[in-house]
Amino acid sequence: MAITEEKLGEILEVYPEKVRVNRRRHIVLKEPDTNAAQQIEANTRTLPGIITNRGCAFAGCKGVVVGPIKDMVHIVHGPVGCAFYTWGARRNKARAGEDGKNYVNYCFSTDMQESDIVFGGEKKLAKLIDETVEIFHPNAISIAATCPVGLIGDDISAVARAAEERHGIQVLAFQCEGYKGVSQSAGHHIANNLLMDKVIGNTEVEKCDEPYAVNLLGEYNIGGDGWEVERILKDIGYHVVCVMTGDGSYEDLRLAHTADLNLVQCHRSINYIAEMLEIKYGTPWLKVNFVGIKSTCDSLRAMAAYFGDKDLMQKTEDVIARETARIQPVIDQYRKVCEGKTAFCFVGGSRGHHYQGLFAEIGVETVLAGYEFAHRDDYEGREVIPSIKKDADSKNIPDLHVEADTKRFKIKIDPERLAKLREKFPFDEYKGMIVDMKEGTIIVDDLNHFETEEFIRLLHPDIVSSGIKDKYVIQKMGIPSKQLHSYDYSGPYAGFNGAVNFARDISMSFATPTWNYIVPPWKNQPLLNATINGD
């Protein structure tokens, strides 16, 4: 059943007036294909009292962007709960490199107590750094500030500077107190800025000797996704300089400026570094998506077209032909179980969009999708500077950046020139989620638990893919839930092998007899209406 404006009105009716108006702006009913892009409100403060799935700036900085760097020790300066929250649950996998250093399975925290809040925690932090260096010898250290640290005013930058002098390694202080900004997104930005400022390019090396040198940005190796993507890229002949940051290392990160091209998997979490690399070093970036067979093939072809080398293009086609011939028959089997089913696809800041293509490939249609904390460009699309380096007369890169404002990292390019480049490199655009969704589907920003249940009651999806905070509510409603953050202990789901794993897991969710033992509430209970002020 498609949701009409009237039906939506009924769901939102229980809210007080102000809340209703606010929430309506975060919901889009996809209209028939028109050229006018539909707009959505996003990246604004969550209404107090609404049970949101969002996290905090600390989660976005330490948990998401910085945490996966394996040869660094990441210290959580704060209560042990914050450290525990970012310890392992995200499933960003890592293997030690040649130097044998991998600390991602450890949890380092100052475990602040009441006395530290009263008297300050700087000394405790300095002592922890000393002990860490003595015991673990990491290549660098990060300190992540939690809410109380900002509130009591511990100067973590000063502690970091003094520790750098004592130990001769970089100690990065991330001022990512949880309360900053409106979600994880602020933390991504804080992490991007400091990594760009202090780590990337912090070496004598200027250029990578290998041909087709790329960085993979916004790939965090959840369930091994990054390993599958790297397998494909290496098979074709690419050299991966650095992955940001899944299974990534501090040492590789320093070399990121030496690559020829930046591939951006998760735009939301890392677009800042992609743009800063373009401004500072002239390295263009390409939006890719290695989730789903078609998206993977499209991305590989766009990369080959960027380099414009005939052999590379041929090798790309060979790998695509070999891999698809291998996996398609398997996918087709699973598709028989999944065909005709519908899904909700609500994840953080990019997967709500990225997974829709893969769902479609196994015959599942996404009827509702959204992001926890994405910005408007992730929904509505944005202008992307095309691959400037490949254009014949773009050797003089600074010409393109005449109005580059390095403080705010904004670039202005002559629109005529931009149009010409776009013609040549049509892949270089970031379309956002809304344009890819079908008429009659729903796009919801910062979905909350009340709305999740209401939309489930109305649309009866066959599967809901989201996170741990609503997984069990969904399953108790008799509906399979597939976590698209952690993959429920499975994965990888990216690339060709990932598509097979995903098809297998989703068809298992449908085929399990478990659901015969659970009766969804709308089958034997009247629909509950929320009450306000006891009426």
Residues that bind ligand HCA (CB under 6 A): 53, 55, 59, 63, 89-90, 184, 348, 467-469, 483, 485-486
Residue 146 contacts ligand CFN per CB under 6 A: no
Beta pairing class for 442-444 and 27-29: antiparallel
User: Are the C-beta atoms of residues 509 and 463 closer than 8 Å to each other?
Assistant: yes
Residue 45 makes CB contacts below 8 A (sequence gap 6+) with 182
Span near ligand CFN by CB under 6 A; candidates 107-115, 264-272, 455-463, 522-530: 264-272
Residue type for position 82: C
Structure tokens at 417: 């020139």
Contact with ligand CFN (CB under 6 A) among 226, 348, 432, 492: 348
Cβ-based nearer residue to ligand CFN, 95 or 127: 95
d(CA 399, CA 395): 9
Residue with the shortest CB distance to ligand HCA: 467
Residue with the shortest CB distance to ligand CFN: 348
> Of 167, 315, 173, 296, which is closest to residue 238 (Cα–Cα)?
315
Give the Cα-Cα-Cα angle 145, 149, 153 (nearest 5 degrees): 120
Structure tokens at 384: 């992307």
Smallest separation (angstroms) from ligand HCA to the CB of 435 = 25
Contact with ligand CFN (CB under 6 A) among 149, 343, 347, 456: 347
Q: Is 59 a catalytic residue?
A: yes
User: Are the C-beta atoms of residues 364 and 338 closer than 8 Å to each other?
Assistant: yes
Its sign, for the CA torsion 448, 450, 455, 457, is positive
d(CA 200, CA 140): 13
Q: What's phi and psi for 231, nearest 5 deg?
A: -55, -45
* Choice among 42, 59, 176, 259 that is catalytic: 59
3-class state of residue 143 by DSSP? strand
Binding mask 190-229 for ligand CFN (x = CB under 6 A): ----------------------------x-x-x-------
Contact with ligand CFN (CB under 6 A) among 26, 254, 351, 375: 351
Cβ-based nearer residue to ligand HCA, 289 or 483: 483
CA 80 to chain centre: 25
Smallest separation (angstroms) from ligand CFN to the CB of 350 = 4
Per partner kind, with CB cut-offs from 5 to 8 A, the member of ligand HCA, ligand CFN, none near residue 468 is ligand HCA
Residue 145 contacts ligand CFN per CB under 6 A: no
Q: Is 56 a catalytic residue?
A: yes
Q: Is 401 a catalytic residue?
A: no
Residue 481 contacts ligand CFN per CB under 6 A: no
Q: Is 167 a catalytic residue?
A: no
Residue 125 contacts ligand CFN per CB under 6 A: no
User: Are the C-beta atoms of residues 67 and 86 closer than 8 Å to each other?
Assistant: yes
Smallest separation (angstroms) from ligand HCA to the CB of 485 = 3
Cβ-based nearer residue to ligand HCA, 199 or 266: 266
> Of 483, 506, 493, 527, which is closest to residue 53 (Cα–Cα)?
483
Structure tokens at 88: 């392992």
Which positions lie near ligand CFN, rule CB under 6 A? 60, 64, 90, 184, 218, 220, 222, 266, 268-269, 347-351, 485
